[in-house]
Chains A and B, each alone.
Chain A
C-alpha cells in the first residue's frame, strides 16, 4: 500500500528560528513529490521535486528530495508568524493510467510565535 508520512505532526517555534519538516514515502513508481502550504483555506503550491539532490528555493523556503532515502525535507529559515500553517507533502506516481493522482501525508502543523 502506498504511504506518505510526515513528521513532526506539529511544531511550535519562535520567530527567527529555522525549522525542518520531513516527508517520507513508500510508493511504487514514484514520479514527483509536492509541497503545499495550507493556511485557513485551500492548500497553495510551494515546490515540485522530481530529481534527487536538486534543491528548490523560494525566498526563505527550500526543499530537497532524496530518492535513495525515499524522503524530502522542507526548510524554513528565519521563520515569521506568517509561516504558521499546515505544510502538506504529496507524492505522485508515474503515468500512464495513474490519472495524476497524488497521495498526501497528514501534514505538519507549524505555529510560529512572536
Chain B
C-alpha cells in the first residue's frame, strides 16, 4: 500500500547483532503496530504506538524495543538478534474511527544466522 512502507524488505544478520526495521506512513494515522508472522502462529503483536513517544508492549515483546519520535515513523529494534527472531515482520497502521481496520506494509523478511 502506497501509504505505508517498510524498510528493508529483506535482511540477513548474524546472531548477537542489533537490527532496526523502519516503518513509514503518509496517512497521518495515530496508531501504529509491529507484528511478526510465523507458520502456525498467525500474526502476533510485538509493540504498538498510540502517539508520538507513546508506545506499549504486545504479546511477544521480549528482545524487542520500539521508538516513535515522529507521527510518520515507527522503528522496531532487535537489541541482540537471535535465531528465534527469524520471521516476517509487518507494520500496520489504523485510523481511530471509520474503517479502523489495519493497513499493512509489505513486510520485512528477517533471517538471523
B102 to chain A, nearest CB (A): 7
Which one of A41, A104, A107 contacts B44 once the chains associate, using CB atoms below 8 Å? A104
Closest to B45 in A: A101
Chain A: interface residue total (CB-CB under 8 A): 22
Closest to A99 in B: B50
**Residue A30 is within 8 A (CB to CB) of chain B in the complex:** no
- Decide yes or no: A48 and B31 within 8 Å by CB, A99-B48, A104-B43, A105-B42 being known contacts: no
Chain B: interface residue total (CB-CB under 8 A): 26
Which one of B42, B96, B106 contacts A104 once the chains associate, using CB atoms below 8 Å? B42
A-B contact number at CB 8 A: 53
Are A106 and B104 in contact, CB atoms less than 8 angstroms apart? no
- Residues of chain B within 8 A (CB-CB) of A20 are none
Most chain A CB within 10 A, of B31, B48, B104, is at B104
**Residue B71 is within 8 A (CB to CB) of chain A in the complex:** no
Chain A positions within 8 Å of B, measured between CB atoms, are: 4, 6, 32, 34, 41-45, 48, 88, 90, 92, 99-107
Q: A42-B105, A43-B102 are in contact. List 11 more A-B contacts (CB 8 A).
A: A41-B106, A42-B1, A42-B106, A43-B43, A90-B43, A99-B48, A101-B48, A102-B101, A104-B44, A106-B41, A107-B42
**Selected A-B contacts with CB under 8 Å, 16 pairs:** A4-B42, A32-B100, A42-B107, A43-B104, A45-B99, A45-B102, A45-B103, A90-B43, A99-B31, A99-B48, A100-B31, A101-B45, A104-B44, A106-B41, A106-B42, A107-B42
